[in-house]
């Protein structure tokens, strides 16, 4: 773990971390040590290496003036550097596992399991709050939303403070925010942008969300402008049963009805294989935007 106690107040420190994972990695870090004491907040991005708006937003957070902070902000802008450099979607290219389905990780596991264990033990469990920035992957269109652990009140409050309207309560046991909530640490996962883009408005949406959370947590001075929010308790994913061609009939942001056909998978000969049918009334939170689809790939996710 980084030695936060002995850093000079009001300063920025940065460098690389090389945890022993059985594969050489260099993970960039930034520490904003506030001029005054206060909570320690962990901000991560790049758990998925091609979610670029979230990564750029994390880098922008490093530009905060530490002299304005009461507390410490630790920023790890690219957790999965192998996935980032290889432009890998969903998975890391070392053990081909999705890091955000491995929490809290394993000390004696595969590369991804050990990376997640290191992140959990050395950073998440030692923070007072945790913000994990994400977005749609290279082949996903997405409408912004924030996820938190269902029933964890302080995480719900942090999600509201972030300022994105749609808030999804999740019962996941294997995602980043779960690892924090298990330690009673307010923890959220905020999503914006996708499709390999890092457009200014979406990068700023995420950066400003982090700043709003820092105000909420008392690290920054200021008043939070109230933002409307809508609580969602369901997140239904539709997956492909086949390899083939994907034709979506609904896209991110669309409202759909239960039993509505929201897309179709066809064979490489153009023959119908599967209708994707919504199981709930709700809003499409993400939709796969590539024509190519593989068996068990997500097609879209619907929140309600």
pLDDT at 3: 79
Give me the pLDDT at residue 2, please: 76
| Mean pLDDT (10-residue bins), the chain, 304 residues | 85 97 96 98 98 99 98 99 97 97 96 98 98 98 98 98 99 97 98 97 98 99 94 98 98 98 99 98 98 98 98
Q: Which of 208, 230, 252 is the last residue of a domain?
A: 230
For residue 272, is it within any domain? Answer: yes
**Is 53 part of a structural domain of the chain?**
yes
Counting the structural domains of the chain, the total is 2
**Residues 52 and 150 grouped into a single domain:** yes
Give residue 1's pLDDT: 62
CA-to-CA separations, 179 to 48, 120, 121, 125, 167, in angstroms, rounded: 17, 7, 9, 8, 18
Give the closest residue to 57 by CA, choosing from 78, 37, 41. 78
> In this structure, are 131 and 77 located in the same domain?
yes
Q: What's the pLDDT at 4?
A: 82
Residues 258 and 117 in one domain: no
Enclosing domain of residue 280: 234-303
């Amino acid at each position: 773990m980084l030695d936060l106690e002995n850093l000079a107040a009001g300063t920025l420190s940065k460098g690389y971390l090389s945890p022993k994972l059985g594969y050489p990695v260099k993970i960039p870090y930034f520490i904003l040590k506030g001029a005054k004491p206060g909570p320690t907040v962990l901000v991560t991005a790049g758990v998925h290496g091609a979610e670029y708006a979230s990564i750029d937003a994390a880098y922008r957070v490093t530009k905060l003036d530490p002299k304005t902070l009461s507390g410490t902000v630790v920023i790890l802008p690219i957790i999965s550097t192998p996935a980032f450099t290889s432009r890998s979607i969903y998975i890391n290219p070392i053990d081909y596992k999705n890091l955000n389905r491995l929490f809290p990780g394993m000390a004696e596991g595969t590369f991804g399991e050990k990376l997640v264990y290191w992140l959990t033990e050395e950073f998440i469990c030692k923070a007072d709050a945790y913000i994990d920035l994400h977005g749609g992957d290279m082949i996903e269109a997405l409408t912004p939303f924030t996820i938190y652990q269902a029933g964890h009140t302080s995480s719900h409050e942090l999600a509201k403070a972030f300022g994105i309207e749609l808030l999804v309560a999740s019962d996941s046991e294997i995602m980043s925010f779960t690892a924090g909530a298990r330690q009673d640490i307010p923890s959220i996962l905020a999503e914006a942008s996708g499709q390999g883009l890092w457009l200014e408005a979406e990068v700023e949406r995420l950066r400003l969300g982090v700043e709003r959370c820092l105000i909420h947590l008392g690290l920054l001075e200021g008043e939070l402008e109230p933002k409307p929010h809508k609580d969602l308790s369901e997140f239904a994913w539709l997956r492909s049963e086949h390899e083939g061609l994907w034709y979506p009939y609904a896209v991110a942001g669309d409202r759909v009805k239960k039993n509505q056909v929201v897309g179709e998978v066809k064979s490489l000969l153009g023959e119908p294989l599967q209708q994707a049918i919504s199981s709930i009334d709700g809003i499409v939170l993400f939709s796969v935007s590539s024509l190519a689809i593989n068996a068990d790939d997500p097609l879209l996710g619907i929140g309600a």
